[in-house]
């Protein structure tokens, strides 16, 4: 599903509501038919384990290698160092960036950093992937590659909710598109 609309129309806010970073001022947010407003604060980390997120500004840990950024994501969801190696090799290979595991964010291009963010978002096999402007800071070739990878991930059964200004990505055939308007 693709969320479109002018800047300030609420795309990022909707993603934050789905992530339980903020609550709606009115109405109800349902995920899998369940109202998520009743999730207790202490249960939010468990709710989020089924959600991968790619932020506009990457949010990679700058003083950690790609490998360590991914290990952090695994440990944050209750995973172990023991399972980390296999998961990391698999996801980096799938995304075609297995050569980056020792690099630091400042040593990579924007497209490479975005692929690492994608790796971090899917490393724990989420049911949902929330993606906020994944191509906003990328060149056309990198943008196309990120969109292709998101299609592959969606094809593997992951529900992808993407906020974007990228008209080409939003208008792809077969995509459900929701256009948000300012109030």
| CA angle at 107 for the pair 152 and 137, rounded to the nearest 5° | 55
Q: Mean pLDDT per 10-residue run, the chain (183 residues)?
A: 88 93 92 92 92 87 95 91 92 93 94 92 95 84 86 92 80 78 76
What is the gyration radius of the CA atoms in the chain, in angstroms? 16
CATH number 3.40.1190.10 is the correct assignment for the domain at 2-180: no
CA 180 to chain centre: 20
Query: What are residue 148's phi and psi, to 5 degrees?
Result: -65, -45
- For 59-85, the pLDDT digits (tens) are 899 999 999 999 999 998 888 998 999
Domain boundaries, the chain: 2-180
Q: What is the pLDDT of residue 77?
A: 87
Closest residue by Cα to residue 38 from 23, 16, 53:
23
Closest residue by Cα to residue 4 from 151, 119, 121, 133:
133
């Amino acid at each position: 599903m693709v969320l479109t609309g002018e800047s300030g129309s609420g795309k990022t806010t909707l993603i934050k509501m789905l992530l339980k970073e903020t609550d709606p001022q009115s109405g109800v947010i349902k995920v899998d038919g369940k109202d998520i407003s009743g999730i207790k604060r202490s249960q939010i980390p468990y709710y989020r384990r089924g959600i991968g997120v790619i932020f506009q500004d990457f949010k990679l840990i700058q003083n950690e290698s790609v490998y360590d950024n991914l290990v952090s994501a695994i440990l944050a969801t209750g995973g172990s160092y023991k399972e980390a190696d296999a998961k990391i090799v698999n996801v980096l290979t799938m995304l075609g960036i297995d050569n980056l595991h020792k690099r630091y964010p400042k040593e990579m291009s924007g497209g490479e950093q975005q692929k690492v963010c994608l790796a971090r978002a899917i490393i724990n096999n989420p049911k949902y992937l929330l993606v906020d402007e994944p191509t906003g800071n990328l060149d056309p070739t990198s943008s196309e590659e990120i969109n292709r990878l998101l299609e592959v991930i969606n094809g593997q059964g992951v529900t992808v909710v993407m906020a974007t200004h990228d008209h080409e990505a939003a208008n792809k055939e077969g995509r459900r598109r929701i256009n948000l308007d300012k109030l």
